[in-house]
Amino acid sequence: MRDQRKQFAIYLPSLYGGGAERVMLNLAHGLAGCGCAVDLVLAQAKGPYLSDVHEGIRLVDLKASRVLTSLPALARYLRREQPEALLSALDYANVVALWARRLAGVPCRLLVTEHNTLSRSAGNSAKWRQRMVPHLVKRFYPWADCVIATSGGVADDLSQVTGLPRERIKILYNPVVTPELREKARAPLNHPWFEAGQPPVVLAVGRLTKQKDFPTLIQAFAQVRQTRPARLLILGEGPDRPALEALVNKLSLEADVAMPGFVENPYAYMSRASLYVLSSRWEGLPTVLIEALCCGSPIIATDCPSGPREILADGLYGSLVPVEDVTALAQAIEAGLEGKTPHPTEESWQPYSFEAVVDKYISLLLNGRA
CA-to-CA separations, 213 to 163, 243, 254, 291, in angstroms, rounded:
29, 12, 19, 19
The pLDDT, as a whole number, for residue 123 is: 64
CA distance 338 to 256: 19
- CATH 3.40.50.2000 for domain 7-175+353-367, yes or no, is yes
The pLDDT, as a whole number, for residue 203 is: 98
The pLDDT, as a whole number, for residue 27 is: 93
CA distance 141 to 224: 46
Q: pLDDT tens-digit profile of 267-293?
A: 999 999 999 999 999 998 898 999 999
Q: pLDDT tens-digit profile of 42-77?
A: 999 999 999 999 999 999 999 999 999 999 999 999
Count CB neighbours of 42 within 10 A: 25
Class of domain 180-351: alpha beta
Per-residue confidence in pLDDT tens, the chain, 370 aa: 345 578 999 999 999 867 889 889 999 999 999 899 999 999 999 999 999 999 999 999 999 999 999 999 999 999 999 999 999 998 889 999 999 999 999 999 999 999 888 887 766 666 666 678 888 989 999 999 999 998 898 999 999 988 889 999 999 998 889 888 999 999 999 999 999 999 999 999 999 999 999 999 999 999 999 999 999 999 999 999 999 999 999 999 999 999 999 999 999 999 999 999 999 999 988 989 999 999 999 999 999 988 999 999 999 999 999 999 999 999 999 999 999 999 899 999 998 988 888 888 988 888 766 5
The pLDDT, as a whole number, for residue 2 is: 43
Which amino acid type is present at position 361?
Answer: Y
CA distance 139 to 167: 18
Query: What backbone torsions phi and psi does residue 128 show, to the nearest 5 degrees?
Result: -65, -30
CA distance 346 to 76: 45
Fold equal for 7-175+353-367 and 180-351: yes
Determine if the pTM surpasses 0.85: no
- Residue 284 pairs with which residues in a beta bridge? 116
Burial label, 81 (beta-carbon count in 10 A; 0-12, 13-18, 19+): buried
Domain range annotation of the chain: 7-175+353-367, 180-351
